[in-house]
Structure formats: C-alpha cells, structure tokens
Structure 1
Amino acid sequence: MYPHLCQLALTTKHPHLCSSFYKKLLGYQDSGERTVRGIAAARIFSCKKVRAQCYWLTGDDPFFQLEIFHFEQPHSTDNTENMLTRGYNMLFIEAPSLDEICQDPQLAPHMRQICRYHDQGTEHLLVRDIDNNVLDIFSNATSHTLTKPTLRGVGATVNDLDREVSHFTQGFGLSESTVPSHFDPQFKRLSEQPQYSGVTQRSKTLVCGGYHLQLTQYNDTGAHHTKAQTDQGVLNIALGIRAYDDFAPLYQSLLDAGYQPLCLPMGDAISNSAYVHSASLSVELVQLPTHIQAMWGFPALEPEPEPEPT
C-alpha cells in the first residue's frame, strides 16, 4: 500500500473557462460530471446546505483526476487577497516550452503573469489562473523531452510546518523528499506586496506516488483566516489506495496521527472514502479498485489478463 495523489479539486466561479483552460494547458479530457448536494456533502464543505456541479478531467495518469467544483452559493464572492497564506494555493507544472504557453491564444487571456525568472538552471513562469491559483510553470534541460505540460505537484501554506509534516508522514505514511530547486517558490516574487520583503520561509516536500506535495511555512506574516471550503481556488487533495483491506487500518492511522474526521467514512465492501482535516489542510482518503474507477470519473482500465497455466 502506498498512497498516491489521485485527485486535485479546484473551486471556480467560471467552470467552463476553468475546464477549457486546464484541458488546453495539460492535455486533459472530459471524463464525467455529477451534482453534489445532501447532508453528507454539507458536512464535508462545512455548510448548512450545499449544491454544486462537479466536473472531472483526466490525462495520462490512470489514477488521477482534476475535479472542478462550481458552487451555486459560495461562502464568499472572491478569494484574491492573501492567497499565499491560506492552505492549498499552488500547482507545479513542468513544460517543454514556456514561450509556447505564453503565446498560446487559448491560454494567455486567462493567465495573469507575475514574473519570469531563471534559477539554478531552471526557468520559471509564475502566473495566476482565472481563480487566482498560482501556477509555477517551469522548464529545464530535461523538460524538452516532454510532449506537453505535466502536473508535478501541489503546494500549500501551513501555520506549523513540523506538525503538518508529522500528520502526513505518520498518518498516510508519506516519505519526505529533498526539495528540488523547482519546488521552491520565492515569496518575494509571488506576493507582489512590499510589506513582505523581509519574510522568510521553510519548506518540505512529501512524495505522493508520482507527485509531490510541498508544504511551506512563512515566518513573520500576518495571520489570515483559513479560506472557506467553497471559496474559489484549490479546494483539497485526495490520496488514493486500491485494496479494500487497507482502508480501515489507514483511516485509523490518520486518527491516531491527529487528523479530525469531517464526517463518518462513506462506502461499502468495494470502495470507500473519508474526509479528514489536519491542522490547516483538508484531505480525502480514497479507496477505489480499478474495475469500477470509470464510474467515478477516472480513465477506464482494461482488466489485467489472467496468467496462463503452467
């Protein structure tokens, strides 16, 4: 058992523009949609009631989806201030060419460039998408072998780095990784606010299957309210496993590590999910066997052939 980043959820005020943007940028395809409502959903999103439309996008990874939520009644109308100090807020994307992205007529109108710079052999393009998420799009000497931009990881700002790392390593069993240079956002470049000129940071990166989760703590910044679940921006992530027998012990491990359940686990004898909250980040644990994953917006997989008798 090894948890894999299987879902990245975004909340948007512009579902069709958001979907078109990420399909074009990452080469993803539509893979389904569903309506989200009911008592359980309201508990997950900390609302009295909730109604949203959810759209699924998938690419080459058979156990990953981009989930785009559009809430009919979000808690707030905007989420553009203090984005860097509130939970999940950044996507790391490796690209074969930054120039092609900047000049693409379908992408450029929906990105707001922050800056472009070189650092230790890697070129970075920092932009905000239409919902104010920060995208660190980077390219280096080995990136030219890619045929299209590829999602490499997710970034989040936390109040207590050591505590959050402990949650993920002790609860989910994730391992720490040496922080690569292209997973090291620079606050002075991102903030665009001179009052943060003296801010320092600490970061640690965790391995989530084929992706990375970077957690960053900024020192000497003003405290900001945690964004509401229905605010625009990155909503949460899901870590996935396949085997049914692994779900219950892993969920108990999360509780033992200090995660708080947002509601009781949901599922049956085939698949399950549980929503938990650490000190400042929400995470979904997904247990999903391959033979029914297409029902939940993941690519359909061909069954593995049975071994020939010897």
Structure 2
Amino acid sequence: MNKDDVYILAIESSCDDTSAAVLHNDKVLSNVVAGQEIHEEYGGVVPELASRAHQQNIVPVVHQALSKANIDKKQLSAIAFTRGPGLMGSLLVGTSFAKSLSLGLNIPLIEVNHMQAHILAHFIKEPETSMPEFPFLAMTISGGHTQIVKVNSHFDMEVIGETLDDAVGEAFDKSAKILGLPYPGGPLIDQYAKEGNPKAFSFPKPKVKDLNFSFSGFKTAVLYFIQKQTKENPKFIEENLNDICASIQHVIIDILIDKLKKASKQTGIKQIAIGGGVSANSGIRKTMKDCEKRFGWKSYIPKFEYTTDNAAMIGIVGYYKFLNDDFADIKTTAKARFAIDHA
C-alpha cells in the first residue's frame, strides 16, 4: 500500500450539509458542500427532512468532488466518512454510501469523529498557513458543540471543558430568533454587531465551575430583556438592532475567552486553535488576535471553508488514519453520540 501517494475521498453528512472532498495526501483537491435551504422556514434543522435531502444530494456531490479533483474513482486509496456525532438519519446516509463504495472499489474504509475533524482541519496543508504544535488547546464551537480539548497528538485528545446544556452556536441562533431574524441567525448577529456598541446593553455571564460552559440562562436573560423592552417600546428591536447584536456577541465572546484564559493558565499551554462553525465569527477572530498580544498566545484559525461542516476536514483525519493503517470494519455503524476522546 503506497503511503506516499494517498488519495482519500471523504464524505460528511452529520447534520444538514452534504459534503464530499478529495485529498491528495494532506492537500485538498476539491471540497464540495450542498446546503439545505428547506430548514429556514422551520427555524432550525428538521432531522427527517435533512436525511431525505442527503439521499438526494450525496451522489451528485461525490460526482462533483471527483470531477473537480480530476480524479477517477479507481485512483482512490480509501473512503473516509463521518461516523458521528450527529443526527442519526443524516449519518446513516453517509455511512451507508461510504460502505457501499468501499466494497465496490475494494479499498479501505475509514471512520472519522466529526469533532476530531474540526480540530485536525488545522493540519490541512494550505499556502501561508501554519499548523499548531503539540500539545495545544483546541476550542470547538458550533451549533451543536462547545468544548475545550487538550490535544497531545493527532489522535490523543482530552476534553477538559464542555457545555452543560446548549452549545454556543445555539445561543447565537436562538438570540437571533428572539430578535425576529431568520435562521441561521448567528451570522446575522455578527453582521449587525459590526455597526453596534458592544457595551450598549449588559447581559449576565453564567457562573459555571471549572472549564465548563452553560448558555441556557444567557438565552433566557436575552428573552426576558427583549420582552421587557418591547413592552415599553414596540420599536425597540428595530431602533436598537445593531447595539443589541453587538452586546449579545460581546458577552458570548467574553464567556468563551474567560474559559480559554483559565484553561491556558491551568495547562501552561499558549498554543490555541479554534474550530467549528462559530469560529467563522468575525468578533471571535478579532478577539483571538487581540489575545495573542495580551497573553502571548499563538492562535490558529482555519480558513472559512474549513470552519463549517465540510468533507475536507474528514479527509485530513482519513489521511492520518490511513498512514496508521487505522481502518474500519465494514460492519461499523453510525453513532449519534461519539465522544472525541473515545474515537
């Protein structure tokens, strides 16, 4: 098995994005993502609709990824796929397709933990981007996850802090919904926040032990604040939208950075990598750069296209697992819950 010339086809289907990518060793040749607009009218992802859309999208998306990479499927060394965590119906579509293709081409199958992939996305080889050195701290922030992970090697990861209830992405989206913004609202809060005053309104920061997070109380505080203000002034949101968004975003970022500072102090690690969909937020990116100057951190943030759910990050994990001969059995099944440190 030639390990100097590895071609990985990767498939990601953990939530509502169907994605396929082709990697040549640690370089991305193609990374195709098909989103699902159908969920917008429901204000959140509907699992049954998501799995149906994956079934429609997966064949054309894989075909497009191979075409863009200018690769024939016979050149592939292995198929990597997201085993979990995620929505079971969505995961089953990708898992079944990957297993079938692996059998049909008689090449190895590689299972990938979605959360490990968000972290290892930092190891995709790109011009002018540097990779974190071990050990480093990784903060994975998305619509479904909020974790601080101590990363000792590519596959030795230890969760040292996580959310006790809602994820940070949900805090953004639910706050946006309270303001009457369409789903997904997180990017819209970021957009309006750029024009607002982050100190205009204050929201309480939850007191949570150790390195863990909690966002349920924060969401409730935003709801009660908006209800009170709109009762007094029905045009309150309209007249103060930029300032409200800036204030919400400011507090959420503060919560994240406070825990990162604590984690860095406890571990003595100053190499900090962030990943997951919320790491696309411009406020978080700016704050991470400020922290480099203030605390002597070296921060790492992936390219925008590798922050949200995508198959390139699945492919890079697949590549490192291929080098280790870490292959999955054809009997492997999808896992809706899949701990990052048990992968």
Query: Counting helix residues as a fraction of each chain, which structure ranks higher?
Result: 2
The answer, yes or no, to whether TM exceeds 0.5 is no
Q: Which has the larger radius of gyration?
A: 2
Query: Counting strand residues as a fraction of each chain, which structure ranks higher?
Result: 1
